[in-house]
Amino acid sequence: MDYPLTIKEISSCQAILKDQDNNLIYLPIDKLPDNLNIGQTLNLQINFETTNYKNIVAKEILNELLGGKK
C-alpha cells in the first residue's frame, strides 16, 4: 500500500510530513532521502502482508503452547 505524504517542514533532525487527511507524521531526517524540499511528495510503502503473517504465526504458536484451538 502506498501512503502519499507531503513534506511540510524540515529541520536539522526531523521532517514533518502531512497526509491527505492533514495528519502530521514526524520522521527522523536521517531515515529519509537526501535533498528533500518543502512541498515535495513522498510515497511511504506499507506492507500489511508481512505484518499479518507474523501475527498469524505468533497466534498459532501461542495457541499451541496454551492448548487452544487453531
Reported as type and span, the H/E element at residue 7 is strand 2-10
pLDDT at residue 9 above 80? yes
The full set of domain ranges for the chain reads 2-66
Specify the pLDDT at position 59. Answer: 81
- What's the pLDDT score for residue 51? 63
**pLDDT of 13-46, one tens digit each?**
999 999 999 999 999 999 888 888 999 999 988 7
Q: Could you tell me which of 41, 36, 45 has the C-alpha nearest to residue 15?
A: 36
What burial class does residue 32 get, using C-beta atoms within 10 Å of its C-beta: 0-12 exposed, 13-18 middle, 19+ buried? middle
What is the CATH number assigned to the segment(s) 2-66?
2.40.50
pLDDT the model gives residue 48: 63
Residue 17, judged by CB atoms within 10 A of its CB (0-12, 13-18, 19+), counts as buried
- Element spanning 42, H or E: strand 41-45
Whether residue 52 is predicted with pLDDT greater than 80 in this model: the reply is: no
